[in-house]
């Protein structure tokens, strides 16, 4: 986004990173049953592909939902594209520039792929004169052009995931949030997905939540490790790999990256990571 971009509002803080979280906390429930999902997270992210890694329950989906502006912070500040998500007007503007693929999304079984992606173009207020071309382009980018008129209920799991990615991309977002995007993709689809994300990440801030550490090595410029609601490390994936190599090989079939990830998660020093 540039300052001459018509979507660039006068009120947006130009020097902000694309994503800025300051002391972000999210708690679910109240009283004795309250659970802290995110605990005073500080995180700045800019253009590039960032991989969010962490064990089950670490807070990844919660973080994604806050960034997607569908879940409010309990405390702390969330700024996207220079705007504060607490303000209704800013939220609406952010949503026009946001793409989000949740872990599970409504399947809209009777919609064709084109109708499904078109519906999200409408929700995101893509101008009607550009919408049809934007829908076709998004469907083509995810490799579903030959299925554009197929109903969603007839798609395989991997194709559904790709249709989900198409809706996330249809507005050419400045921020793209993908929660477990490669689940259900076959190896060939995963390779083309990685290629697409590398391309998108050249001028977009992409955050991918995943358990597949190989995806992080293949696509991401940065790995962000989350544990028990806190960001414990930001580092280049190759540094995790180096850490894993220094630990030595094991007989359990894990890769150096997986070993490095597990060790870093449990507090081992990573060569030149950016500790939080
Ligand atoms: N709606 C909810 N109500 C109560 N607690 C919740 C809710 N959603 C998440 N939690 C709790 O918040 C914590 C973080 O959950 P979250 O789903 O963000 O983790 P995650 O890292 O995405 O996990 P996974 O890898 O299993 O998807 C967990 O302890 C979870 O049990």
pLDDT tens, residue by residue, 160-199:
999 999 999 999 999 999 999 888 788 888 888 899 999 9
Binding site membership of 54 for ligand 1 (Cβ less than 6 Å): yes
The CATH number that applies at residue 224 is 3.40.50.300
Confidence of residue 209 (pLDDT cuts 50, 70, 90): very high
Share of residues in the chain with pLDDT > 90 (%): 67
Binding site membership of 60 for ligand 1 (Cβ less than 6 Å): yes
| In a domain? residue 107 | yes
Residue 9 confidence (pLDDT) above 60: no
Gap between the Cα atoms of 177 and 52, Å rounded: 10
Q: Residue of the nearest CA to atom 25 in ligand 1? A: 56
Binding site membership of 212 for ligand 1 (Cβ less than 6 Å): no
Binding site membership of 47 for ligand 1 (Cβ less than 6 Å): no
Full residue range of the structural domain in which residue 206 is found: 19-27+34-235
What pLDDT sits at residue 169?
Answer: 97
Binding site membership of 35 for ligand 1 (Cβ less than 6 Å): yes
Binding site membership of 65 for ligand 1 (Cβ less than 6 Å): no
pLDDT tens, residue by residue, 105-117:
777 899 999 999 9
| In a domain? residue 167 | yes
Atom of ligand 1 nearest to the CA of 211: 25
The domain tally of the chain equals: 1
What pLDDT sits at residue 276?
Answer: 45
Gap between the Cα atoms of 126 and 201, Å rounded: 21
Residue 5 confidence (pLDDT) above 50: no
| In a domain? residue 3 | no
Confidence of residue 203 (pLDDT cuts 50, 70, 90): very high
Residue 222 confidence (pLDDT) above 70: yes
User: Parallel, antiparallel, or unpaired for β 230-235 and 175-179?
Assistant: unpaired
Range name among 43-52, 86-95, 143-152, 238-247 with the lowest pLDDT average = 238-247
| In a domain? residue 261 | no
Q: What is the ipTM of this complex?
A: 0.97
């Amino acid at each position: 986004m540039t300052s001459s971009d018509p979507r660039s509002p006068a009120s947006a803080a130009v020097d902000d990173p694309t994503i800025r979280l300051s002391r972000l906390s999210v708690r679910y429930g109240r009283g004795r049953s309250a659970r802290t999902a995110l605990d005073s997270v500080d995180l700045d992210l800019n253009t590039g592909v960032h991989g969010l890694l962490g064990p089950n329950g670490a807070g990844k989906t919660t973080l994604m939902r806050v960034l997607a502006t569908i879940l409010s912070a309990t405390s702390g500040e969330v700024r996207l594209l220079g705007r504060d998500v607490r303000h209704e007007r800013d939220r609406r503007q952010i949503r026009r520039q946001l793409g989000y693929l949740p872990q599970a999304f409504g399947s809209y079984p009777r919609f064709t792929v084109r109708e499904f992606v078109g519906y999200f173009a409408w929700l995101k207020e893509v101008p009607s004169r550009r919408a049809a071309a934007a829908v076709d382009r998004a469907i083509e980018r995810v490799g579903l052009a030959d299925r554009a008129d197929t109903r969603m209920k007839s798609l395989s799991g991997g194709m559904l995931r790709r249709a989900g990615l198409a809706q996330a991309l249809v507005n050419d977002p400045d921020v793209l949030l993908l929660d477990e995007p490669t689940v259900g993709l076959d190896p060939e689809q995963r390779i083309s997905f990685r290629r697409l994300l590398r391309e998108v990440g050249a001028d977009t801030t992409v955050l991918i939540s995943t358990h597949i550490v190989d995806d992080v090595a293949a696509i991401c410029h940065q790995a962000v490790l989350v544990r028990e609601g806190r960001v414990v490390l930001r580092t280049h994936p190759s540094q995790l790999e180096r850490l894993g190599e220094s630990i030595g090989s094991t007989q359990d079939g894990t890769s150096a990256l997986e070993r490095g990830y597990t060790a870093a998660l449990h507090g081992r020093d990573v060569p030149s990571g950016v500790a939080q």
